[in-house]
Copies of this chain bind each other. A is one copy, B any other.
Amino acid sequence: MNPTERMLRACRGEPVDRPPVWLMRQAGRYLPEYRRAREGVPFLEMCRRVDKAVEVSLQPLRLLGVEAVILFSDIFVPVAGLGVAVDFEPGPVVRDPIRSLDQVAALRTPDPRESVPFVMEILRVLRRELEPTKVPLLGFAGAPFTLAAYLIEGRGSKDFATLKRMMYRAPEVLRALLARLTEMTVAYLNAQIEAGAQVVQLFDTWAGLLSPADYAAWVQPSHLEIASKVERVRAPLILYVNNGAHVLDAMLASGADVLSLDWRVDIGLAAKRAGARASLQGNLDPCALAAPAERIAQLVREIADAAAPARGHVLNLGHGVLPETPVGGVRAFVEAAKALPVRGPS
């Protein structure tokens, strides 16, 4: 079973020999080689320069042997196509936060192949580079609610009080913005699939800030629309909701092929609740990569065992690799995953 078969089958709930392994933010500052490649290059330029983005996307494969490669980019890259100016300081900062219907109406409807052609080119080059290895290529996008959170608030926030005030005081603005972003996200993910992405992941970093009722009203509809319009037959869809233990049932009803769980979720209980509806991805606490290698291996075995009743499992962290993570911890994680006993057809 080659890595692409293993990944696609795990996502679709078909038998595999063992769970495939990769890590969110595996191309990141914890790697000295990444820091060297980034030296003197502003973050957005890293995302736009095909050579640089390809180089750092492939680093974790070459250095650590991960079993999937994900496009190096940022969830805010396609937002430029809407005509919104975003700076990175280093988190995204929106120069003119969106607060009115007029501002939403003024947004452009970009064809991502024209507004961010470099993303498609990075994917095409990566796909070619990966061909001999049969390692699968992942694309990704930020989910509409999370993009809207930044566009309205203007920057990251602990409470996102401005965004939530809009839910109560100007719901029509938020609704219109989410509709535009959902349309953009569908087009963006389908363009990535066209350019070679074999799996796509939707990152909803901030949706976990909402109560179950608010999540149902403001987040779930865009997930359902994306799951129905993205070409999941060509590329399975992974849905990641950070801090989403309380909305697991809604995630299960989203139509996504795989749910990426953070470490707060008991993955064994989630596997039982998921049944045949979705595969699971995750979910080691990124901080646990500071543990000794043998402890990491034990935690990997515990997660794999707990997740075994799921229809499919992709080993990953519950959140992105932290910059202060020792490289040895990441290596121990990948090696422990690859050393898991064979369960299914190999």
Q: Chain A interface (Cβ within 8 Å of chain B)?
A: 159-161, 164-165, 167-169, 208, 210-212, 214, 243, 245-246, 263-266, 285-288, 290-292, 295, 318, 322, 324
Contact = CB atoms under 8 A, between A and B. Distances in A.
Given A211-B285, A212-B264, A161 B246 contact: no
B159 A291 contact: no
Tallying the copies of this chain within the complex gives 2
Nearest to A292: B168
Contacts of A264: 208, 210-212, 246
30 contacts: A159-B286, A159-B287, A161-B287, A161-B290, A161-B324, A164-B285, A164-B287, A164-B288, A164-B290, A165-B287, A168-B288, A168-B290, A169-B291, A169-B292, A208-B264, A210-B264, A210-B285, A211-B263, A211-B266, A211-B285, A211-B318, A212-B264, A212-B266, A214-B285, A243-B243, A245-B246, A246-B246, A246-B264, A246-B265, A246-B266
Nearest to A302: B213
Contacts of A164: 285, 287-288, 290
Nearest to A325: B161
Contacts of A212: 264, 266
Contacts of A159: 286-287, 322
A346 to B, nearest CB: 30
